[in-house]
Structures are given as C-alpha cells and as structure tokens.
C-alpha cells in the first residue's frame, strides 16, 4: 500500500540532513504496509530549486540513494516544506521514473505525492499532451503535477496570482478517482497543500506553546459555483483560470495558531496517511475529511472547502492521540497475530506481485534469475529451516520434486548440524527463515558455505544475515511480522517456494500444463483466503463451546496436508499452551489410534486430492472408536457426511499443491481464539522469542 509523509517546519531551524532524516524516518514507519519503491522532495541550495530523490526497493535503498547525491547536509532552513512517499505500483512498473514525487516539468515547479488512483488520467494526459506537456512516467499521478503547472501558468498569463489552495481547488474540479495528495511548489516556498478523497490523510501539529484552541475553522468559498462545478473546464477544451477572489484570506489568522502576543510562533507540521509515522513527533493530530484542502504556510494550518455543505461541521478538531504506537499499528485488531492472519490476502498477493505474470503464465524471480541454470544442474536440493519455516518446506517438497525432478530433502537445521550431514558442491541448499537471523539456520548456512554448496535464501527480513550471506534468494515480501507465532510468513514462504519450483521447471515442456494450472491457482489464492477468513465467528464459537476445556488435540493429514497438520499443531501448542500433535493419517493405526475416544478432539484435513479416499478411511477409523472429528473440507463437499462430527469447516477448492495455503488459516484462527479465551498474551507467548538467535 502506498504511504504519504510530509514535514513542514516554520521558524524551527533545521539542517537539510535533519529534514531528510525526518522524511526518511517517517517513511520507515510506513514500511509495515508494504510497498515497492520510495522517494522524497526537498529544497535545493538556491531559490527555486527542488531536489527529488527516488529509488525502487526499500526505504533503506532510498536513504542510500539520497546519501550518494552528496547534498550539503549542513545547509539550514528556518522554514521548509518536504514531501515523501512509499509507492505500491498500480499504474506502471516499480521503476525510478514511476516513483513519487512526480513532477510538472524539468524545473520541478510542482511536485506531487499521491495515494490512490486517478480514473480519468488518460483523458487528462491527452489534453495536457495536446498542450505540449511531455510525460516521463507511466503513472496517473504525473498528470496532477502537470495539471498544476498548466493551471498556474494560465492564471499568471491572465493576470491572476492564485493562492496555492485556490489552485488545488481548480485541480480538484478536473480530477476523478480516489486520492490522498501532497503538493509542493517553487512558486509557494515553504508551503504545502494537501487533500484527500477516499484515502486517509492527517496532519500532526507540534508547537512549543499550547495551542489556543483545539480546532481549526473551515474556510468556505463559493468560488466553484461561479465556475459551474458540474462541468470540468477540461471538457470544455481548456482550463478556466481561477477567479482570484480569495487572497484576502491570507490576512486571516487561524485561531488555533494565534499566540498570546500575536507574534508568529515556531511550529512543525507532519502530514501522513497513517498516524503511526506521526506519533513519535506529536500526539496532536487533525484528521482531514474527504474534499478538505489543508494549506500550510507561515506556521498555520488552514482548512478550505470549495463549497459549504449542509451538514458539514465548520471546524476540524485537533485531537490528542492517546494510543501508543503499537496500538496504532495494530489497527482494528486486538493483537498483531490477528492482524497478521487477516493480512494474508494482501501479504500473499505481495509475495507474487511483479513476479508472477498470470496472463502469460510465467514467473520471474529477480533474485534467482541468473542462478537458475546452475541450480537446475544440481544433484539434489536440501531445504533447511526451523519451526514454521520448516513446515513450509515440508508443504512444498512434493511439488518441488514433481516439477524439478531433482531429489529434495527437508531438514531441521539443528538436526542437520547435529548429524554433520554430508553436503557437496553440487548441492543446492535452500534456507527458509522469516527473520533471517535464526541461529540454527545461520550455522547450517555457514556449514553449507564451507562445503561450497549453492545457498539460496527464502527470507522475509531484507538485510538480515541469511539474506546477506546466501548466494542468492527470494524475499517473500510479507511485510514485518510482529506476533511471535508465524502466520503470514508461512503462507508467503509457501508461495515463494512454489514460485521457485515453477521457475526451475520453466524449461520442462512436459510440465507446461501443470505449471499453468498452478499459476491459475495462485492467482485466486488471495481472494480465496478472504473467504476462509469469514470462518472466524464459527471458529471462535467452536473454541469457546467445544474446545475450551480440552487438554489435548490431534490433527490428521496426509500427503500435502501432513504439513498443515504439523503446522496447525505447532500454532496451537505455542500460543494456547494446549498439547496438540500433528499425525500423518497413515500412521494412525501404528500407534496413535490408542489415544482416540469420545473425548479427544481430532481435526482432520479432508480436502480433495488424490489421497482423499485414504484420509476418509482414517476418519472412519476415528469415528468407529466414538471419536468426534472436526473436518476441514472443500466447500459444498457433501460426500463427507459424518453424523458424529463436532464441526465442519469449509474452505474453497484450489490446486492440490496449494490447498495447504487455505487449510492452514482455520488452524491459525483456532490457535488464536483458544489462546485469547485462556487469557494468554497472544503476541508474546511465554518462553518464546520472535527471533531465536541462540542455538
Ligand atoms: C527487487 C527489490 C524489490 C523490487 C524488485 C523489482 C530489494 C530488496 N528488492 O526485488 O523491492 O520491487 O526488485 O525491481 O531491493 N537475496 C539473497 N538472499 C535472500 C534473499 C534475497 O541473496 O535470502 C538477494 C537476491 O538474490 C537479490 C536481492 O537479494 O539479489 C533482492 O532479492 P528480492 O527482493 O527477492 O529481489 P526482487 O524480487 O528482484
Ligand atoms: C512458530 C515460529 C517459529 C519460527 C522458527 C524459525 O510460530 O514462529 O517456529 O518459525 O523459530 O524462525 P525463522 O523463520 O525466523 O527462522
């Protein structure tokens, strides 16, 4: 998701270095939302100069790019306006030219950062091109920057000298869609205008003295009515210059910012799409309403609206955020774990974004591309990991072997090291780790590097030790995982491993059809996860009514679903402290059956694949001993009718090798609700740490 951050200082002396750092830090606070590129705009050394720095990848990459420019960090600004952005590509690839800020022209007269989508950008672009504007990017945002310049120039030509907010009003008549916008211009030094429609935006205010009143008056104008608001001037073939009737407003002082002695007072403003990036600076924030135009200049915040709206309040209150940062970042969820479970439609999509071309059925992993021929020639693949990450390897081993036709073994890092397992230079060792810092996995990586094997990382944390020390790899791009129990990292690791298998097999003619089937399946996964998440109420009820007093639980799975059984059992153990065990359904009769009675809850994964009949026979063995299973089955699969079942949880059908992505989600929710019911601190279960950096 895109993120906006802006910083305006007035009579608060800041060096360029400090300003850039504030902007970059603000973006870092937005990182958890996911993005693929970033950028910022600040003032240059001479008047009318704006520096724009942009880079694809992480905010850390932007910081590096900024540093490489060697702008003098010591130049000070008593007043200054800077804007910044993290972008999630919608219109145009993640390329530098498509990063924000977008600009009006080579002189950076107007620079814009934008969240959302301008739906009529094609028409606007055409019109502006007809007027001689040359576009540089594939973005919809660029037309806003160019539109600003065009409207500004037209005004000036006609003898008007419009206020910045008047310009914004004129622009808003022309654009359709949804947006959060910040605009900076050399024509309005140290000022920012901001607006929103359907996309959040807030302004944080920091002053030394207490504000006189905790609200800002809305300044209405009916200027649009004169302009016939229903008709875009663009449709009439040209832009109508703004009637400059409002300059007098510049004289009016905003009551909130009036100091006792009427002297201007030092003020800082932080504009953002997300309170989490503002809270470290100030707790005083004003949330903009749709169509509000915030105009910041001379240490004051003015809110303008084009028209007086019947029911609309004439003030905007400056609220005090009582929430702590952690709380804000949790959004509407009670715990990070719950938030991360519910993020999976997005996080799984992010793992595939820019990598899977669903139309042409191709997969491109930038971090692996040049290594593919070497890996294809290897003698065997060894997947090495711990805990949940190990389960993602188990879940995908079979499809790896099927597609690559290379033998695959899956190892727990600690056991692999204990055995000092033989490793050779024609082996490929894949290290799967959310944190990239797990000590056992890191030691195993050293061990394999010493033996000259090819090492591949599948890691969530960019810049982590495993990510740095492996020869190559894939970042799973799931976004930060904060809850100790791994949830969204599991589904993203699963997808990343499937993508690796697809990449390795894209030269196998005999696999074309199977690969198409899997890629089609992958496309639907994010939406299907949304459907599975609807089971939450049912699962919550099941946990309260049937499972609350249980001490133990078994999970049965076979084939692809054995990993789901193990991972489900691990989730339940670590979060709810209830004993649980994942059992390979085929092993039931070799011992575990002795545990089955009418008390022990048993969860059976009975989704459709070639092993379905065998799973059914295991379920029958359970019910024949008065067991009351909880069945996870595909939607509408009426063939499974078990009178004694405690509950049935239905998940959508997908390709056999991807079914585990959907099946694990009810178990994640179950472990969560079992733990919440017990009053356990879900995000920090006892005895466990998020990153296990000791052996
Ligand atoms: C990269 C960018 C991504 C951008 C994309 C498109 C980074 C971190 N990623 O993603 O933001 O959207 O280009 O241009 O800047 N690597 C390892 N070991 C690991 C994981 C990764 O060595 O465990 C290496 C890879 O080989 C690669 C680099 O790190 O050289 C980045 O990997 P990854 O983020 O997966 O690459 P892209 O998908 O190309
Ligand atoms: C379980 C869990 C752990 C980790 C394991 C490996 O929910 O989070 O089992 O999966 O400690 O950690 P990473 O993936 O960071 O190497």
- Residue from 341, 412, 438 whose mutation best tests the ligand 2 pocket (most atoms within 8 A of CB): 438
Please give the residue range of the domain that contains residue 672.
534-695
The pLDDT of residue 226: 47
Q: Ligand 1 pocket, 87 CB below 6 A?
A: no
Domain identity same for 408 and 500: yes
Which CATH number do you get for residue 694? 3.40.50.10490
The pLDDT of residue 581: 96
Instruction: List the residue whose alpha carbon is closest to atom 10 of ligand 2.
Output: 388
**Catalytic choice (2, 378, 448, 657):** 2
Domain identity same for 367 and 318: no
- Residue from 475, 480, 497 whose mutation best tests the ligand 1 pocket (most atoms within 8 A of CB): 475
Domain identity same for 619 and 560: yes
Which burial class, exposed, middle or buried, applies to 302 when counting CB atoms under 10 A from its CB (0-12, 13-18, 19+)? buried
- Secondary structure (DSSP) of 78-129: SSEEEEEEEE--SSS-S-GGGSSSEESSTT-SEEEEEEEEETTHHHHHHHHH
Q: Residue 614 Cα, ligand 1 centroid: separation in angstroms?
A: 41
Ligand 2 atom nearest 390 alpha carbon: 10
Q: Residue 475 Cα, ligand 1 centroid: separation in angstroms?
A: 6
Instruction: List the residue whose alpha carbon is closest to atom 4 of ligand 2.
Output: 387
Long-range (24+ apart) CB contacts under 8 A made by 353-359 are 353/36, 353/89, 353/477, 354/36, 354/89, 354/93, 354/94, 355/499, 356/499, 356/519, 356/522, 356/523, 358/519, 358/520, 358/522, 358/523
Can you tell me the distance from the alpha carbon of 434 to that of 247, in angstroms, rounded to the nearest whole number? 56
Domain identity same for 53 and 171: yes
Domain identity same for 33 and 47: yes
The pLDDT of residue 227: 47
Place of tokens 């989704």: 607
Domain identity same for 520 and 589: no
Q: To which H or E segment does residue 651 belong?
A: strand 647-651
Can you tell me the distance from the alpha carbon of 57 to that of 87, in angstroms, rounded to the nearest whole number? 10
Q: Known catalytic residue: 2?
A: yes
* pTM for the model: 0.74
Q: Which two tokens stand for residue 430?
A: 């894949």
Query: How do residues 135-186 score in pLDDT, each as one tens digit?
Result: 999 999 999 999 999 999 999 999 999 999 999 999 999 999 989 999 999 9
The pLDDT of residue 89: 74
DSSP percent split of the chain into helix, strand, coil, nearest 5: 40, 25, 40
Name beta bridge partners: 315.
217
Which of 300, 327, 354 delimits the end of a domain? 327
Q: Ligand 1 pocket, 99 CB below 6 A?
A: no
DSSP state of 11: S
pLDDT < 70 stretches in the chain? 1, 33-34, 222-254, 258-260, 310, 688-691, 693-695
Domain identity same for 301 and 372: no
Which CATH number do you get for residue 281? 3.60.20.10
Domain identity same for 542 and 609: yes
What does the radius of gyration of the chain's CA atoms come to, in whole angstroms?
29
Q: What are phi and psi of 6, to 5 degrees?
A: -140, 150
Instruction: List the residue whose alpha carbon is closest to atom 16 of ligand 2.
Output: 433
Domain identity same for 171 and 145: yes
3-state SS, one letter per residue, for 348-417: HHHHHCCCEECCCCEECCCCCHHHHHHHHCCCEEEEEECHHHHHHHHHHHHHHHHHHCCCEEEEEHHHHH
> Who lines ligand 2 at CB under 6 A?
386-389, 433-435, 438, 441, 485-486, 570, 574, 691-692
Domain identity same for 348 and 383: yes
Q: Residue 477 Cα, ligand 2 centroid: separation in angstroms?
A: 16
Domain identity same for 307 and 375: no
Ligand 1 atom nearest 61 alpha carbon: 15
Q: Ligand 1 pocket, 141 CB below 6 A?
A: no
Q: Which two tokens stand for residue 50?
A: 């704006």
Instruction: List the residue whose alpha carbon is closest to atom 38 of ligand 1.
Output: 366
Q: Please check whether residue 548 is in contact with residue 644, taking contact to mean a CB–CB distance below 8 angstroms.
A: no
Q: How many domains does the chain have?
A: 3
The pLDDT of residue 248: 44
DSSP state of 257: G
Can you tell me the distance from the alpha carbon of 267 to that of 301, in angstroms, rounded to the nearest whole number? 10
Query: How do residues 494-528 score in pLDDT, each as one tens digit?
Result: 999 999 999 999 989 999 999 999 999 999 999 99
Ramachandran region of residue 92, left (φ > 0), alpha (ψ -120 to 50) or beta? left
Q: Which two tokens stand for residue 571?
A: 């989730």
Which of 291, 312, 327 delimits the end of a domain? 327
Domain identity same for 34 and 149: yes
Which of 277, 300, 327 delimits the end of a domain? 327
Q: Residue 591 Cα, ligand 1 centroid: separation in angstroms?
A: 46
Can you tell me the distance from the alpha carbon of 214 to that of 553, in angstroms, rounded to the nearest whole number? 55
The pLDDT of residue 224: 47
């Amino acid at each position: 998701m895109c993120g906006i951050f802006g910083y305006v200082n007035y009579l608060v002396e800041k060096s360029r270095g400090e300003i850039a750092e504030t902007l970059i830090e603000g973006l870092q606070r937005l990182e958890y939302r996911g993005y693929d590129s970033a950028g910022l705009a600040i003032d240059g050394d001479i008047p009318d100069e704006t520096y724009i720095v942009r880079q694809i990848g992480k905010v850390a990459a932007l910081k590096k790019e900024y540093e490489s420019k060697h702008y003098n960090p010591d130049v000070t600004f008593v007043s200054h306006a800077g804007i910044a952005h993290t972008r999630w590509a919608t219109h145009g690839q993640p390329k530098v030219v498509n990063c924000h800020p977008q600009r009006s022209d080579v002189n950076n007269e107007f620079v814009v950062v934008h969240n959302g989508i301008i739906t009529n950008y094609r028409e606007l672009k055409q019109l502006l091109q007809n007027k001689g504007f040359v576009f540089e990017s594939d973005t919809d945002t660029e037309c806003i920057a160019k539109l600003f310049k065009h409207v500004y120039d037209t005004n000036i030509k006609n003898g008007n000298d419009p206020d910045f907010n008047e310009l914004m009003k004129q622009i808003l008549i022309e654009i359709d869609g949804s947006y959060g916008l910040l605009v900076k211009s050399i024509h309005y030094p140290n000022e920012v205008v901001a607006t929103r429609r359907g996309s959040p935006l807030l302004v944080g205010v920091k002053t030394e003295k207490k504000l006189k009143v905790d609200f800002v008056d809305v300044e209405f104008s009916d200027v649009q009515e004169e302009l016939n608001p229903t008709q875009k001037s663009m449709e009439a073939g040209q832009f109508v210059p703004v009637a400059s009737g409002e300059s007098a407003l510049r004289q009016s002082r905003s009551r909130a910012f009036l100091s006792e002695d009427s002297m201007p007072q030092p003020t800082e403003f932080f504009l953002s799409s997300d309170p989490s990036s503002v809270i470290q600076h100030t707790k005083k924030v004003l949330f903009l309403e749709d169509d509000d135009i915030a105009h910041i200049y001379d240490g004051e915040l003015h809110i303008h609206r084009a028209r007086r709206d019947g029911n609309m309040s004439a003030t905007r209150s400056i609220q005090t955020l009582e929430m702590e940062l952690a709380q804000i970042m949790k959004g509407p969820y009670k715990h990070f774990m719950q938030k991360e479970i519910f993020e999976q439609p997005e996080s799984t999509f992010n793992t595939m974004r820019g990598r899977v071309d669903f139309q042409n059925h191709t997969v491109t992993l930038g971090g692996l591309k040049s290594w593919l021929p070497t890996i294809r020639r290897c003698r065997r693949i060894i997947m090495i990991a711990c805990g949940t990450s190990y389960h993602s390897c188990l879940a995908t081993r079979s499809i790896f072997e099927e597609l690559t036709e290379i033998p695959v073994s899956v190892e727990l890092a600690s056991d692999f090291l204990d055995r000092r397992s033989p490793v050779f230079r024609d082996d490929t060792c894949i290290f799967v780790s959310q944190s990239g810092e797990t000590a056992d996995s890191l030691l195993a990586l050293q061990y394999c590097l010493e033996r000259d094997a090819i090492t591949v990382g599948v890691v969530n944390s960019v810049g982590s030790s495993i990510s740095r020390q492996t020869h190559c790899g894939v970042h799973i791009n799931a976004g930060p995982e904060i809850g100790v129990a791994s949830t969204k990292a599991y589904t993203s690791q699963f997808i990343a491993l499937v993508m690796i298998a697809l990449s390795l097999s894209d030269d196998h003619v005999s696999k074309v059809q199977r690969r198409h089937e899997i890629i089609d399946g992958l496309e639907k996964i994010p939406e299907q996860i949304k459907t599975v998440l609807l089971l939450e109420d049912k699962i919550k009820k099941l946990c309260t009514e049937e499972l609350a007093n249980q001490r133990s639980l078994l999970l049965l799975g076979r084939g692809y679903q054995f990993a789901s059984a193990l991972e489900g059992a691990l989730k339940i153990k670590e979060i709810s402290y209830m004993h649980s065990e994942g059992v390979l359904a085929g092993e039931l009769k070799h011992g575990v059956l002795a545990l089955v009675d009418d008390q022990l809850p048993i969860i059976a994964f009975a989704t459709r694949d070639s092993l379905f009949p065998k799973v059914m026979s295991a379920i029958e063995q359970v019910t024949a001993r008065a067991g009351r299973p909880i069945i996870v089955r595909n939607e509408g699969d009426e063939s499974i009718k078990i009178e004694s079942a405690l509950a049935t949880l239905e998940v959508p059908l997908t390709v056999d090798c991807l079914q585990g992505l959907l099946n694990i989600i009810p178990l994640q929710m179950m472990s969560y609700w079992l733990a919440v019911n017990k009053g356990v601190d879900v995000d920090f279960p006892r005895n466990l740490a998020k990153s296990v950096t000791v052996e």
